[in-house]
């Protein structure tokens, strides 16, 4: 469904160092060339991931390990991959782990699934000996205070490469959180204590920059939008959406004008995400801007710039996590429980992630937004049917953040026709029991609804960021 050009994502920078014990090379002349061929294959496979690869070559002793550490530190990597081609001492990789300033993933990928025991000599066996130093590395990393993680397999082992890819994707999410620019425009929805977010704690937990915006930053850009730009946005809108007969043309044109202004705002401030809310009064300009946000916010979200209402900064960040994992992530809250069908109904009025809609999304005209001032057009759809993951960003009393997640399945069934992004989610248990467990997780009352089963990726992300991951299972 995503007809827009995706936003330019910051690619993770992955450092790569391969190594083995140099004492073997004069003893077994054919060994090093074989290991270098294995290392070249790893480089080839790594380059297939959507990441920038910094390859510092092959190391054979502790001195070369220290030199590699210096080069990788200068490269400012998001993740470093150490390839254990054969036995090597911990002194060769501890400097890399200690000095690089990035998480380290060790990979042990032997040439083939098994050795030819009848014909192999010692030199040929050593090419399969990457597992030997792995416990040594784990022990040394523990003692020097470095988190340990590894993937073992063989060079063409797709299960192993799937796990490696998971760590690389997690590094990409960590990078965009750590380097991202996150907009917060307007003010808190009155009374929503769970939504209230300390901007310093966002940077403290995740990194990144918080850009505090005024609705006037949007107003001045909307005032400069030309009629031609509005017409172009309307054409885009009619391409992406079905329009319900309730849509008022003047409201639609205003939403398109605001959408163009939003595009300019996001570009001018180089934003990776945006959360907003403004109450307004008596139809004045700021109230009209707030009411006209849904179209443009939905189009931005589909482009990879998560945008959500109610000043929900932590949820816009959760949506960003889901989006960078390739799973969309639509602004969501609980709506109702269907005990007859055994499902939980969830969604939200306002912007949704158009790229994960089950059908062509609908624009519906509304005379009033429930609980908010304003009127205009709203987005209606349900998330693509099949496996989904709820991704939330909770906060504890000590200020620390936690990832909160649950897996379920979106199923078909009756939906309200009120301009909401409602989905029916089956968690394989009593809806009431699931709702109690989810509410007790500390998630807050908004989250991202994403496609696919993301718990393995979220576990990797938690491992790289230091965030706790709460998995809600009943």
- Mind listing the pLDDT tens digit for each residue in 168-202? 999 999 999 999 999 999 999 989 999 998 999 99
Burial profile 49-64: b = 16 or more Cβ within 10 angstroms, e = fewer: bebebbbbebbbbbeb
Residues 206-257: tens digit of each pLDDT? 999 999 999 999 999 999 999 999 999 999 999 999 999 999 999 999 999 9
pLDDT 10s digits, 252-299: 999 999 999 999 999 999 999 999 999 888 888 998 999 899 999 999
User: pLDDT class for 101, splitting at 50, 70, 90?
Assistant: confident
Same fold? 13-177, 180-471: no
Paired tokens of 440: 């007790």
What sign has the CA pseudo-torsion 321, 327, 331, 335?
Answer: negative
Ranges of each domain in the chain = 13-177, 180-471
Q: What was the pLDDT predicted at 1?
A: 34
Strands in 104-110's sheet, in edge-to-edge order, are 52-59, 13-19, 79-84, 104-110, 150-154
Q: For 292-308, write each residue's pLDDT tens digit.
A: 999 999 999 999 999 99
CA 135 to CA 181: how far, in whole Å?
Answer: 40
The sign of the CA dihedral 49, 51, 56, 61 is negative
Contact status, residue 9 vs residue 325, Cβ threshold 8 Å: no
Q: Report the predicted TM-score, pTM, of the whole model to 2 decimal places.
A: 0.93
Q: Strand pairing of 150-154 and 242-243? A: unpaired
- C-beta of residue 357 within 8 angstroms of C-beta of residue 242: no
**Centroid of chain to Cα 50:** 14
What is the per-residue pLDDT across 7-54, written as a single tens digit (0 to 9) for each?
456 789 999 999 999 999 999 999 999 999 999 999 999 999 989 999
**Which CATH architecture is the domain 180-471 placed in?**
Alpha-Beta Barrel (3.20)
The mean of the pLDDT values for the chain is 93
pLDDT of residue 369: 60
| Average confidence (pLDDT) over 314-326 | 96
Radius of gyration of the chain from its Cα atoms, rounded to whole angstroms:
25
Return d(Cα 463, Cα 444) in angstroms, integer.
Answer: 22
Looking at domain 13-177, its CATH class is: alpha beta
SS3 at position 102: coil
Of 5-9, 53-57, 329-333, 352-356, the poorest mean pLDDT is in: 5-9
Confirm if 314 and 196 have CB atoms less than 8 A apart: no
């Amino acid at each position: 469904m995503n007809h827009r050009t995706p936003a330019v994502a910051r690619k993770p920078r992955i450092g790569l160092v391969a190594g083995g014990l140099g004492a073997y090379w004069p003893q077994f002349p054919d060994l090093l060339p074989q290991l270098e061929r294995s290392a070249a294959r790893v480089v080839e496979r790594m380059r297939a991931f959507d990441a920038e690869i910094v390859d510092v070559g092959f190391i054979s002793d502790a001195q070369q390990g220290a030199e590699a550490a210096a080069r990788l530190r200068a490269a400012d990597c998001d993740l470093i991959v150490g390839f254990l081609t054969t036995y090597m001492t911990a002194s060769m990789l501890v400097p890399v782990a200690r000095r690089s300033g990035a998480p380290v993933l060790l990979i042990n990928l032997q040439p083939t699934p098994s050795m030819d025991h009848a014909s192999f000599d010692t030199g040929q066996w050593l090419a399969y000996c990457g597992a030997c130093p792995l416990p040594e590395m784990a022990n040394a990393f523990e003692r020097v205070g470095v988190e340990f993680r590894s993937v073992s397999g063989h060079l063409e082992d797709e299960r192993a490469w799937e796990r490696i890819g998971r760590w690389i994707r997690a590094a990409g999410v960590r990078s965009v959180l750590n380097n991202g620019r996150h907009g917060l425009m307007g003010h808190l929805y009155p009374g929503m204590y769970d939504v209230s977010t300390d901007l310093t704690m966002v940077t403290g937990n995740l990194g990144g920059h918080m850009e505090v915006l005024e609705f006037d930053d949007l107003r001045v850009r909307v005032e400069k939008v030309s009629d031609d730009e509005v017409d172009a946005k309307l054409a885009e809108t009619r391409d992406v959406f079905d329009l319900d007969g309730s849509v008022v043309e003047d409201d639609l044109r205003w939403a398109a004008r605001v959408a163009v202004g939003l595009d300019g705002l996001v570009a001018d401030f180089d934003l990776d995400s945006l959360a907003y809310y403004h109450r307004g009064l008596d139809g004045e300009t700021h109230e009209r801007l707030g009411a006209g946000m849904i179209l443009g916010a939905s189009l931005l979200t589909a482009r990879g710039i998560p945008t959500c209402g109610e000043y929900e900064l932590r949820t816009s960040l959760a949506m960003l996590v889901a989006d960078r994992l390739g799973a969309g992530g639509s602004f969501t809250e609980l709506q109702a429980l269907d005990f007859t069908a055994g499902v939980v109904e969830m969604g939200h009025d306002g912007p949704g992630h158009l790229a994960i809609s089950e059908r062509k999304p609908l624009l519906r005209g509304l005379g009033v937004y429930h609980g908010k001032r304003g009127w205009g057009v709203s987005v209606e759809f349900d998330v693509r049917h099949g496996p989904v993951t709820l991704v939330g960003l909770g906060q504890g009393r000590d200020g620390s953040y936690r990832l909160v997640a649950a897996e379920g399945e979106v199923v078909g069934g009756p939906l309200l026709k009120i301009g909401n992004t409602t989905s029916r989610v089956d968690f394989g248990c009593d809806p009431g029991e699931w709702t109690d467990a989810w509410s007790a997780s500390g998630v807050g009352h908004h989250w991202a609804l994403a496609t696919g089963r993301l718990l393995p990726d979220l576990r990797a992300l938690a491992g790289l960021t230091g965030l706790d991951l709460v998995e809600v299972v009943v």
